[in-house]
């Protein structure tokens, strides 16, 4: 089984002010705090975001790229 977790290398806000994780693979993933659907309270503070640098999260774009290679 292929692992598609990639480490977070930084953060920025999109045009709507939502936080986006920048991944080591070059892709990006939204990390919104929008309870009860998404519970990421750590993203609301600079210290919280810093504490997640280096943490691995799933990269759906890497998964999609690999899936397309296999078709």
Taking only the tens place, the pLDDT of each residue in 30-67 is 998 888 888 999 999 999 999 999 999 999 999 888 77
State whether residue 47 is helix, strand or coil. helix
In the chain, the largest separation of any two C-alpha atoms, in whole Å, equals 42
Question: Residue 32: which domain range?
Answer: 5-69
What's the pLDDT score for residue 2? 76
Q: What's the pTM value of the predicted model, to 2 decimals?
A: 0.85
- 65 vs 28, higher pLDDT: 28
Q: How confident is the model at residue 1 (pLDDT cuts 50, 70, 90)?
A: low
Give the count of domains, the chain: 1
When pLDDT is averaged across residues 5-32 and rounded to a whole number, the result is 96
């Amino acid at each position: 089984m292929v692992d598609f977790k990639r480490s977070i290398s930084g953060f920025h806000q999109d045009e709507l002010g939502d936080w986006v994780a920048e991944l080591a693979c070059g892709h990006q993933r939204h990390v919104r705090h929008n309870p009860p659907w998404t519970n990421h309270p750590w993203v609301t503070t600079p210290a919280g975001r810093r504490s997640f640098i280096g943490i691995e999260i799933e990269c759906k774009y890497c998964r999609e790229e690999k899936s397309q290679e296999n078709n």
